[in-house]
């Protein structure tokens, strides 16, 4: 799934907008459901309870994986938001990829100006309130063009690093039939062949293995609807017939 199609649901957008207007919400817990970002829990600001104390309570009530939108006092006065991505190491690769990418989806769709920091953690209980504060960007003045560029580059490098790490932690397995077909594909040299593979439950499996007898046959066998890995060997010396 491409992270760009994750959409903030209407209920989350409404809840977030009301939080800006009333300043009564301390934290919103968000989950990825299907292709949407949805509200799981809302924690109201508790009168007489400091933000750092309430953060400890929120930590104990939230589950992983989740994205927490935490309302915090920014350095220039008004309340702003920090995104906390809580993603444990034992999750499937797909879930890690989703939650690593969903932070940008949230901020872009809810409004970048509302957010002053973000952080990723594999264990929410170890993330202190001081850690949250340390993620806040400098909001005392506008950034120069060079500062904006450096900030964007740093964010890009961080996201690429998170995604690469997630892929390396849990490598995909390969079905025996798929492995045998790949070996045969590398050994066969006299015929044109189309080989396509799919990812099913974090295992690479065989989709199609078809001998190509016409050059225009590729358009017929290629699946343009579902994600696949395709290998196509074209033997220019093989006879072809076109109809």
- 145-149, 196-200, 217-221, 225-229: which has the minimum mean pLDDT? 145-149
Q: Is the confidence at residue 87, as pLDDT, over 60?
A: yes
* Cα–Cα dist 21/51, whole Å: 19
Q: Is the confidence at residue 76, as pLDDT, over 60?
A: no
138: left (phi over 0), alpha (psi -120 to 50) or beta: beta
* Cα–Cα dist 114/26, whole Å: 14
Does domain 3-169 bear CATH number 3.40.20.10? yes
Per-residue model confidence (pLDDT) at position 62: 92
**Greater model confidence, 236 or 211:** 211
Q: What are phi and psi of 195, to 5 degrees?
A: -130, 125
Q: Is the confidence at residue 200, as pLDDT, over 90?
A: no
Q: Is the confidence at residue 136, as pLDDT, over 50?
A: yes
Mean pLDDT over each residue of the chain, to the nearest integer: 79
pLDDT, one tens digit per residue, over 103-118 is: 888 988 998 888 888 8
Q: The whole model's pTM is what? A: 0.56
**Measured CA angle at 128 (ends 125, 133), to 5 deg:** 140
**Domain boundaries, given as residue ranges, for the chain:** 3-169, 173-233
Q: Is the confidence at residue 153, as pLDDT, over 70?
A: no
């Amino acid at each position: 799934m491409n992270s760009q199609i994750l959409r903030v649901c209407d209920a989350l957008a409404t809840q977030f907008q009301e939080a800006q207007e009333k300043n009564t919400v301390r934290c919103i817990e968000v989950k990825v459901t299907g292709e949407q970002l949805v509200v799981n829990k809302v924690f109201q600001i508790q009168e007489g309870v400091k933000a750092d104390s309430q953060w400890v309570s929120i930590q104990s009530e939230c589950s992983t994986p989740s994205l927490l939108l935490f309302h915090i006092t920014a350095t220039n006065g008004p309340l702003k938001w920090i995104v906390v991505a809580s993603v444990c190491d034992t999750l499937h690769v797909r879930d890690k990829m989703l939650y690593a990418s969903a932070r940008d989806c949230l901020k872009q769709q809810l409004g970048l100006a509302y957010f002053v920091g973000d952080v990723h953690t594999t264990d929410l209980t170890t993330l202190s309130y001081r850690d949250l504060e340390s993620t806040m960007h400098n909001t005392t003045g506008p950034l120069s063009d060079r500062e904006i560029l450096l900030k964007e580059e740093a964010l890009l490098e961080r996201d690429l690093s998170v995604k690469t790490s997630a892929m390396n932690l849990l490598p995909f397995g390969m079905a025996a039939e798929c492995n045998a077909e790949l070996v045969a594909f590398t050994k066969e040299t006299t015929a044109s062949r189309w080989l396509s593979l799919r990812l099913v439950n974090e295992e690479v499996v065989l989709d199609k293995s078809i001998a190509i007898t016409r050059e225009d046959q590729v358009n017929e066998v290629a699946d343009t609807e579902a994600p696949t890995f395709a290998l196509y060997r074209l033997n220019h010396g093989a006879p072809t017939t076109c109809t």
